[in-house]
Chains A and B, each alone.
Chain A
Amino acid sequence: MAQSKTAVIRSDLDIVIARTMARDTARALGFGAIDQARIATAVSELARNIFLYAGTGNVTVREVEKLGRKGIEIVCEDQGPGIPNIDLVMQDGYSTSRGMGMGLPGARRLMDEFVIRSQEGVGTTITCRKWRN
């Protein structure tokens, strides 16, 4: 199994580092230019959410395989305030920070699989995957 890479998110500079890491990994795994952009953009959204809402957290990228299909898995985890209502935050336009409320629903559209686990006061873990054609 291929090894994973992790970026620690502490500042807005780390958002750039995380998405560059994800893009480089996607390219190495053979994803095309459009998928690389989708993956990097999704990571940018999720890493920014960590920075904005939790302060710090981690973004981990690794290769995955299912039924002979190769893909990339991205896990974004933080020990921030958590998300009380996941259905609500997945709606386009919902934001508690006067953002566009586009990050989470947009990242879900850009990836093939997208799972949020979150508990108030404990933190949030978002796992998403994209499969190579």
Chain B
Amino acid sequence: MDSSLRIPILKIGDILIASIQVALHDASAVQFKDDLLQKIHDTRAKGVIIDLTALDVVDSFIGRLIADIAAMAGLMGTRVVLTGLQPAVAITLVELGLELPRVLTALNLEKGLSVMQRLTAEIGDGSV
């Protein structure tokens, strides 16, 4: 696979942030899921924000991948917030038949960060 298509994942404090800036083909989407889950595992991040502002299509493949990420992150105690979902994409997802019940959304990255701060404050810091 073309490694230039890898999606960078940033760590800021206890939170990981990934911003998807290119159209994802299936292989790069799967690579992203694997990279992100690995990074959650390695960093013990409390939260992950995935910014989808640049995505103009979320089909069943990407939709399921996001649902899988949320479910697996949940098992590791990590919250997932999606940001920047375009209105047309959100409408299409519902019509397609895909709802993302476990996934929280926020309008943009800034709002996503404040949602995440509240969420992770609720979880508390177990490490003292």
Contacts and interface: CB of A to CB of B under 8 A. Distances in A.
A12 B27 contact: yes
A100 B64 contact: yes
A21 to B, nearest CB: 12
Contact of A34 (B57, B59, B61, B92): B92
Interface string A20-41: 1001000000000110111011
B120 interface: no
A106 B92 CA distance: 9
Interface string B72-116: 000000000000001111011001111000000000000000000
A114 to B, nearest CB: 13
Interface in B53-77: 56-61, 64
**Chain B interface extent, by class:** 20 to 34
Contacts of B98: 100, 102, 106
Contact of B56 (A13, A40, A106, A110): A40
A12 B97 contact: no
Contacts of A38: 92, 95
Interface string B3-38: 000000000000000000001111100000000000
A33 B87 CA distance: 9
A44 B57 contact: yes
Given A41-B58, A41-B59, A44-B59, A20 B23 contact: yes
Interface of A: 12-13, 15-16, 19-20, 23, 33-34, 36-38, 40-41, 44-45, 48, 92, 99-100, 102-103, 105-107, 109-110
The 3 closest A-B pairs by CB, nearest first: A106-B96, A37-B88, A12-B26
